[in-house]
Amino acid sequence: MSAQFVTELTILMLAIFLGFEVISKVPTLLHTPLMSGTNAIHGIVIVGAIIVTGAHHPGLFMKIVCFVAIVLATANVVGGFVVTDRMLEMFKKRRDEP
C-alpha cells in the first residue's frame, strides 16, 4: 500500500469525523438548507471534471463525455449555492421584538 494512499485514507477519516462533528450542531430548522448546501459542496467534482477534460484525450466520444461531466458538475455547483442562498435569505427573526 503506497504512502500516498495511506495519507489520503487518513485525510478521509479525519474529514468524516469532522463532518459528523460540525453537522450534528446544525438545528433541524436548517436541515433542508443543509442538504442543499452539502449538495453544492459535492459540486466540488467540478475540479475532477476540469482535470480530466484538461488532460489530453483523443477521440470525440471522450470529449462528449467530458462535456457532459462539466455540464452536470457546473449545474450542481451553481444550482446548489444559488438555491441554498435563496432559502437562507428567507429565514428571518421577528422584526420588532416588543
Partner 1 sequence: MSQNTANLLYLIPMAAFILALHFLSSPRHARLGNQIGAIGMLVAIIVTLLKEEVVTGWWIMLAGGIVGTVIGVVGARTVKMTAMPQMVALFNGVGGGAAALISVVEFHGVWANVGEVGVERGVATVFSALIGSISFAGSMVAFGKLQELISGRPITYPGTQFVNAAVFVGAIGVGTWAMVDVRFWALVAMVGLAALFGVLFVLPIGGADMPVVISLLNAFTGLAAAATGFVLHSNILIVSGALVGASGTLLTMLMGRAMNRSIANVLFGAFGKVVAGPAMAASGADGASVRSTTADDVAVMLAYAQRVVVVPGYGLAVAQAQHEVRQLAELLEAKGIDVKYAIHPVAGRMPGHMNVLLAEANVPYDQLKEMDEINPDFPRTDVALVIGANDVTNPAARNNPGSPIYGMPILNVDQAQQVIVLKRSMRPGFAGIDNELYTEPKTAMLFGDAKESVQNLIQAVKSV
Q: Give residues 27-86 in contact with partner 1 (rule: CB under 8 A).
A: 27-57, 62-63, 65-86
Question: Cα 61–64–69 angle (5° rounding)?
Answer: 130
3 binds partner 1 (CB under 8 A): no
Output the nine-digit C-alpha cell for 1: 500500500
CA dihedral sign of residues 15, 21, 23, 24: positive
From the CB of 96, what's the least distance to partner 1, in Å?
10
What is the rounded distance in angstroms from the CA atom of residue 40 to the CA atom of residue 7? Answer: 26
For the bound state, the minimum distance from the C-beta of residue 10 to partner 1, rounded and expressed in Å, comes to: 10
CB of 61 to partner 1, least distance (A): 9
Number of residues that bind partner 1 (CB under 8 A): 82
